[in-house]
Amino acid sequence: MLERLLGDEVDDAGGYIAEVIYGANDGIVTTFAVVAGVAGAALDPGIVLVLGVANLLADGFSMGMSNYLSQRSEQDYRAARGEAGGNGRPAVYTAGVTFLAFVVAGWAPLLPYAVGIEATFRLSVFVTGAAFFAVGASRSLVTNRRWYVAGGEMFVVGMLAAGVAYSTGAALGGFA
């Protein structure tokens, strides 16, 4: 599927694994931070969708453009040193992959709110945990890591970040 999106610019699906994992993980973490912060502060659940979608688009764009600037800086540095090549991947494609991974995966924590399901925060925690695990486990498709180890690693890191967001929202909820 990645080859269809990017055409001849990618040799194999693993060529963009760093961008996919970085974008997806950050999309899930930062969007869930909005969800957990709002829940921790006991604010109206409707606020989640407004802040969550704003986060998805603005932070996803920022991540993609930061990736672009990072890649271009590396390419310019190599050119200034007279080195040929670089990593061979155009910066615009790595930026696009980062943005898409961020936005697609970042929807996971918002899904219960978008469809109006009861007990939205609890369900969001479950969906978020499943998304962390699924994205992490998917790394095993292009690496030699066991799927359950890769999934568990990303699940633990992501849920720790989510706990920080919830605790911060709960601690600062009195200021709202």
pLDDT grade, residue 97 (50/70/90)? very high
CA distance 168 to 38: 10
Give pLDDT, residue 148.
97
CA distance 61 to 161: 21
DSSP code of residue 1:
-
Q: Is residue 135 part of a domain?
A: yes
Give pLDDT, residue 85.
63
pLDDT, tens digit, 9 for 90 and up, residues 21-51: 989 999 999 999 888 888 878 888 888 889 9
C-beta separation of 45 from 91 below 8 A: no
pLDDT grade, residue 6 (50/70/90)? very low
pLDDT at 9 over 60: no
Q: Is residue 173 part of a domain?
A: no
Residue 107: what are its φ and ψ, rounded to 5°?
-70, -20
Q: Is residue 1 part of a domain?
A: no
Q: Is residue 107 part of a domain?
A: yes
Distances (CA, A) of 61 to 8, 35, 53, 81: 24, 19, 12, 30
| Stronger pLDDT, 146 or 76, i.e. the higher one | 146
Please count the structural domains in the chain.
1
Q: Is residue 45 part of a domain?
A: yes
Q: Is residue 6 part of a domain?
A: no
Q: Is residue 56 part of a domain?
A: yes
Query: What domain range is 124 assigned to?
Result: 13-167
- pTM value? 0.82
Q: Give the mean model confidence (pLDDT) for residues 123-127.
A: 94
DSSP characters over 96-117? HHHHHHHHHHHTGGGHHHHTT-
pLDDT at 10 over 50: no
